[in-house]
Amino acid sequence: MEDVLTVSAALILFAHLLLSPSAASGGKVSAVIVFGDSTVDPGNNDHILTVAKGDFPPYGRDFDGGVATGRFSNGRLVTDFISEGFGLPSSVPAYLDTSCTIDQLAMGVSFASAGTGLDDLTADISVFNMYLNSFQNVIPVRQQLEYFMEYKERLAVARGASEADAIIAGALYYFSIGNNDIGVNYFLLPQRRAQFSPPEYAAFLVGIAGAAVREVYRLGGRKIQLTGILPVGCVPAMRTVNLHRPGECMEDFNQFALLFNAELRKAASKLNGELSEARVVYSDMYRLVSTIIANPLKYGFENVAQGCCGTGLIEASFLCVLDEPLTCEDTDKYVFFDSVHPTERIYKMEASQMLNTSLAAFL
């Protein structure tokens, strides 16, 4: 009952934030600027040569009348709800979407790319290689930071240096990345396991995350959130490939995720002490999702082991297609939309939790 009340209170707060005058005026956050992987990619991969795309139905079936934008979900992502919670636009556009003007991007932009990771090697490989034996070209973190520098220059030309600097300083910088480093790179491929133990690889990844935060700070960012990763061992695709305990979560994946999250939390605290006038916060996504998976009926969910799309066991990206007769009718009953990515309902719950906790200081 206590967990239900906690989630309900968070949702009530979220609704209040959307309606409050301070939220309507944008509050203390000028824009939401996003770096990461498929959990926050609104469609950048639509514009690059890769098979890791979600720009076709049934993706987006609940997004603005059923538009498949490239988001790997049935609707909006966590960053879309966060943007709306700050009184900014209800969706954060992809930087590589040429239909968006710099004035639109001034209120929010995502550089995220599905399939990428903190480790450059992760951007060069993915689970799709196993199906197609082909190179996947996605956007590594270093390239996302280069796009951010380009964005800053474009913003200065469009708005003038003074206004551009104010937008950059007032923006929230949201990092959501690491899922593929652990779920694909470390456990499914041999190279990094031969080089690093799990604690060493977690430290390696968190070091890259810290360097990215310092670069954002150098370029003017002051409000930064580092977001922990999901219980990657419990996504339907991992349950499917669990040969020792078919259909159950892969606990070694989850233990690694917890290890990474703990190191990321420590890094956020350290960066707070290191970067003058910056506020670096950590937000945990693991606990909410794992709590729902452990007791779904309490939160109104019926299926935690399968995705909505197709059989829900392996379908993601190009394997998730519109004419799949097994795709579910009621997405709200599912934690996952495909075999890897959460549903819009989960993202909305995560956003409301963050706005009530880690992001409350920025409201």
- Spell out the residues 6+ positions from residue 71 whose beta carbon is closer than 8 angstroms to its own: 41, 42, 43, 54, 59, 60, 63, 77
Q: Which residue has the higher pLDDT, 8 or 101?
A: 101
What confidence category does residue 125 fall into, taking pLDDT thresholds of 50, 70 and 90? confident
Which of 41, 113, 181, 341 does the annotation list as catalytic?
341
Distance between CA atoms of 173 and 215, rounded to whole angstroms?
12
Q: Which residue has the higher pLDDT, 239 or 325?
A: 239
If we measure between CA atoms, which residue out of 270, 172, 262, 269 comes closest to residue 224? 172
Sign of CA dihedral 210, 212, 213, 214: positive
In the prediction, which pLDDT does 323 show?
Answer: 66
What confidence category does residue 308 fall into, taking pLDDT thresholds of 50, 70 and 90? very high
For residue 58, cis peptide bond before it (omega within 30 degrees of 0)? yes
In the prediction, which pLDDT does 11 show?
Answer: 43
In the prediction, which pLDDT does 19 show?
Answer: 36
pLDDT at 5 over 70: no
Which of 119, 284, 338, 352 does the annotation list as catalytic?
338
Span 22-57, pLDDT tens digits = 333 334 899 999 999 999 999 999 999 998 999 999
In this structure, how many other beta carbons lie within 10 angstroms of the beta carbon of residue 141?
27
Q: Which residue has the higher pLDDT, 54 or 7?
A: 54
**Average pLDDT value for residue range 79-96:** 98
Span 130-152, pLDDT tens digits = 444 445 579 999 999 999 999 99
Q: Is 341 a catalytic residue?
A: yes
pLDDT at 230 over 60: yes
Alpha helix (H) ranges present in 112-190?
120-124, 127-132, 141-159, 161-170, 179-180, 187-188
CATH topology of domain 27-362: Rossmann fold (3.40.50)
Sign of CA dihedral 354, 355, 360, 363: positive
Which of 38, 110, 126, 317 does the annotation list as catalytic?
38
Distance between CA atoms of 67 and 284, rounded to whole angstroms?
29
In the prediction, which pLDDT does 321 show?
Answer: 81
pLDDT at 297 over 80: yes
Can you give the pTM of this predicted structure?
Answer: 0.90
> Dihedral angle at the C-alpha atoms of 131, 136, 140, 144, nearest 10 degrees?
-120
